[in-house]
Structure 1
Amino acid sequence: MPTLKTLQPGDEKLLEAFLCQHADTSMFLRSNWRAAGLLDRGERFQGTYVATYIDEAIVAVAAHFWNGMVIVQAPVNLPEVVQAAVTQSGRAIAGISGPAAQVEATKSVLGLSNRPTQLDESEILFSLMLADLQVPPALAAQKVQCRLPHSDELELLSEWCAAYNIEALGQKETPSLRLDCRRVIEARQAMSMHWVLVAENTPVSYSAFNASLPDIVQIGGVWTPPALRGKGYAKSVVAGSLLKARSHGVKRAILFTSHDKQAAQAVYRGIGFVPTGEEYGLVLFENTQG
């Protein structure tokens, strides 16, 4: 019979062994525990992790993180781990992510199938072996440069982050959005997990890693201001970030994007990304606090 357990320091090896079996859809879970451990004090990247075990091996896990996201990797025993993680964390639920079918099941388990959402999508999962990265000519010829942002660019990038959240994630422009985005940008800056593309000394595009491991990174938050689109900048900033990762030994990259974002898919396919055949679910509930 499965055994239910709240994970604690010392459980990392068993957790990682399980998540590696589902590597493409476990990036947030793997990256977060590596960044912040398994104790939950409510700090950035921390969460309450609950797993089921069979014969001393983990077979399912759900975590409820500091930001309200419930993230699942539970091919079995999903109701048990989801309910336990949410109950033990005591947090409000801001969203759900994980393998698409499991995200739908989690909504039902938590009684949230009819709760208003700002985003509810089953997205295409893409993968790229970095040895196969196709570098755009403008980047290869150094007509544009991809680099870590300078400190005096963080305010601009916070504005871009807010614009991305409104356009891509369906968020509303509230007084707290800009502040939240500034915190995200500052955290990425501290961890060297984002990049800006510069053309003639002017920032023109942005990309980040929203999850990072020694061997694999996950792309997120790609943004080019509307007036600058169609110039190949998104390809160059993503490719530039992956060149940096490759130079540090990273072997592969993952990302997910929605079925209706044809332009984004063209960008990623244009530098070598291919669909994995899996779908990644992402649900963000409406913020009832406004």
Structure 2
Amino acid sequence: MSFPMAGLRLRFCTDPGEILAAAGDHLAANPVVSTVVTTIAHRVLSQRADGISQPDRNWWLVVSDDSGAVVGAGMRTATAAPYPPFLLPMPDEAAVALAYALHERGEQVLGVNGALPAVELCAAELARLGGGRVEVSQHTRLHELGELVQPTSAPGALVVATEDDVELVTEWFAAFMGDADEQAGRRRGTSAHQVPDRSEMLRRIQAGRLWFWVDETGERVHLTGANPPSFGVVRVGPVYTPPAQRGRGWASNAVAEVSRRIQAEGARVCLFTDQANPTSNKIYAALGYRPVVDMANLLIVR
């Protein structure tokens, strides 16, 4: 389904393969900024190959201009209410046009995540059309690693998670998301992100993209994950240390080692931080991560 708008065309599709085919060159031109859309598109394709279907509400968006050139992209694939769309950078008028298109489609949209200023413009127009006000849930920042700076060494080592770790990994994923809610001023458990179910968690473990840092006694004291590469970019996350283990250098050493391994594979490395969390921002800056783009998670309150 497509919506022509004064000099723009918004094309909605249900198959992530369509957005990768139609907007692949556009996404590949800035693969760090595009990382969320491309990694989820590839993940959904992989799940579909295994017979796992996505909800009917999901869509993928390609924005093109009069010449047919792709100038923006987005998706609506969130797994928890309010199922906010995620927008990549696009022309201002496209972000406003998207709000009109969603309103015309009859979609209830009570949140918008993604790149600034597109999310602000889209959310403001949605609030104007449907009533309500826009509130900031979280300001995030996407960083890319330049030259890795090794942190002060901490005792222990990085070990890959195994299927025997699925319960602990699931518990720490949930704790990570709960902490993110609290740091953003939300009630724990209100995030638009959902902890992967057991089958999805096992898929991630089997892919070898989840690691623990273990201390000198072999105790698991920290978890770092990473997505499979997409257009030559790997996004690190989650990064979680239980409260009792914080302040000992586990996170710095684990992220540094995971980042080193990813760069050794020939991929670029990126990660998100909560702008309201000065501790994590300081840690990543010390490792050599540099800001790329600011994003936001916005709510429309009615």
What TM-score do you get using the length of structure 1 for normalisation? Answer: 0.78
- The correspondence for 2:32, drawn from 24, 30, 33, is 24
**Structure 1 residue 218: Cα displacement:** 1.6
- The correspondence for 2:232, drawn from 211, 215, 234, is 215
Q: Deviations over 1:206-236 (max 9, x none)?
A: 1122574252122222110111111110011
**Which residue of structure 1 lines up, in the alignment, with residue 8 of structure 2?**
2
Q: Which runs of 4+ in 1 moved over 3 A?
A: 7-11, 20-24, 37-42, 81-88, 90-95, 112-117, 170-174, 179-187, 283-286
1:102 maps to 2:118? yes
Identity among equivalent positions (%) equals 20
- Gaps spanning 5+ residues in structure 2: where? 1-6
Structure 1 residues 148 and 265 mapped into 2: Cα distance closer, same or farther (>3 Å)?
same
2:270 and 2:107 map into 1 onto residues whose CA distance is 29
1:156 and 1:150 map into 2 onto residues whose CA distance is 10
RMSD: 3.6
**Which residue of structure 1 lines up, in the alignment, with residue 245 of structure 2?**
228
Higher deviation after alignment, 152-161 or 5-14: 5-14
Q: Counterparts of 1:146-157 in structure 2 under 5 Å?
A: 146-157=158-169
Instruction: Assess if the C-alpha contact under 8 Å between 1:188 and 1:194 holds in 2.
Output: yes
2:100 and 2:219 map into 1 onto residues whose CA distance is 48
**Which residue of structure 2 lines up, in the alignment, with residue 255 of structure 1?**
271
**Which residue of structure 1 lines up, in the alignment, with residue 4 of structure 2?**
none
What TM-score do you get using the length of structure 2 for normalisation? Answer: 0.75
Q: Counterparts of 1:49-68 in structure 2 under 5 Å?
A: 49-54=60-65, 55-67=67-79, 68=83
**Which residue of structure 2 lines up, in the alignment, with residue 124 of structure 1?**
141
Q: Counterparts of 1:127-206 in structure 2 under 5 Å?
A: 127-129=144-146, 132-138=147-153, 143-170=155-182, 172=187, 180-183=195-198, 185-199=201-215, 200-206=217-223
Aligned residue pairs total 275
**Structure 1 residue 71: Cα displacement:** 0.9
Q: Deviations over 1:41-92 (max 9, x none)?
A: 8528x9411223221211122311152231112224113335546876x876
Q: Deviations over 1:245-272 (max 9, x none)?
A: 223221x222222333121112112211
1:43 and 1:69 map into 2 onto residues whose CA distance is 15
Please state whether the residue corresponding to 1:110 is helix, strand or coil: helix
- The correspondence for 2:296, drawn from 276, 281, 286, is 281
Structure 1 residues 120 and 5 mapped into 2: Cα distance closer, same or farther (>3 Å)?
same
1:30 and 1:86 map into 2 onto residues whose CA distance is 26
Instruction: Assess if the C-alpha contact under 8 Å between 2:95 and 2:119 holds in 1.
Output: no
Structure 1 residues 168 and 186 mapped into 2: Cα distance closer, same or farther (>3 Å)?
same
1:270 maps to 2:286? yes
